[in-house]
A and B are shown apart, each in its own frame.
Chain A
């Protein structure tokens, strides 16, 4: 099955600085890579995703890059704000046409702290 490694496990940045979280995956068949944000005591929520036919995707202050050859993808947050403080999870899922399988595999998470 898929194995997703995520680094770092904790990250502290000053407000206004950038934050980068990196993930690697093992299954070359994976081609959908979402990122989830989980605030303390809340449920995970999707913040951005990328599919394998795209190398980069941006949404305001967040961006995700994908390198399929190297099997890694990264989350970039620019101009960080205190409300960005949360745990971030990367994930990967292989998509097989017509298959009855759905195994979204998560990384272990990165706790981001933005210091005012």
Chain B
């Protein structure tokens, strides 16, 4: 039972490069979200999805794109990396029917130089 799996765990990008952070869950959860965690700022919602084909913006969506073609996968794309996007990124999933525990992936530490 893997839960929520994120890849990669660490990544260094140059300014202007693009990349995709992968997130997969095997719990058949409808709700999936992406957060970024910065020192002193807590966890801030980037984008979320309430089911396959449905996505919406969170608090800090600029510079990021998402798509949800399957229930299991919710990738986060950085279009043109900037130093301000240096952060730890967490993917999370939750059961849609009842508001309950959000299960987090292990995180991706991204550095943009």
**Contact call A109/B42, Cβ cutoff below 8 A:** yes
Q: Once the chains are docked, how many angstroms separate the CA of A9 from the CA of B39?
A: 11
Q: Once the chains are docked, how many angstroms separate the CA of A50 from the CA of B102?
A: 14
The interface residues of chain A lying within 8 Å CB-to-CB of B35 are: 106
Listed by A's residue number, 6 A-B pairs whose Cβ atoms lie within 8 Å are: A1-B59, A102-B94, A104-B92, A105-B59, A106-B43, A109-B42
**Contact call B40/A104, Cβ cutoff below 8 A:** no
**Contact call A106/B99, Cβ cutoff below 8 A:** no
**Contact call A103/B45, Cβ cutoff below 8 A:** yes
A45 contacts B by Cβ under 8 Å? yes
**Contact call A95/B42, Cβ cutoff below 8 A:** no
The interface residues of chain B lying within 8 Å CB-to-CB of A93 are: 99
**Contact call B41/A108, Cβ cutoff below 8 A:** yes
A73 contacts B by Cβ under 8 Å? no
Interface size range of chain B in the complex: 20 to 34
Q: Once the chains are docked, how many angstroms separate the CA of A43 from the CA of B23?
A: 14
Which one of B41, B99, B104, B106 lies within 8 Å of A32 (CB-CB)? B99
The interface residues of chain A lying within 8 Å CB-to-CB of B45 are: 103-105
The interface residues of chain B lying within 8 Å CB-to-CB of A42 are: 106
Contact with A along B14-33 (1 / 0, CB 8 A): 00000000000000000101
B interface, over-half SS: strand
Q: Nearest chain B CB to A22's CB is how many angstroms away? A: 15
Contact with B along A68-105 (1 / 0, CB 8 A): 00000000000000000000010001010000111111
**Contact call B106/A43, Cβ cutoff below 8 A:** yes
Most A Cβ at <10 Å: residue of B42, B45, B104, B106: B42
Residue of B nearest to A41 (CB): B107
**Contact call A104/B105, Cβ cutoff below 8 A:** no
Most B Cβ at <10 Å: residue of A34, A93, A106: A106
B83 contacts A by Cβ under 8 Å? no
**Contact call B59/A89, Cβ cutoff below 8 A:** no
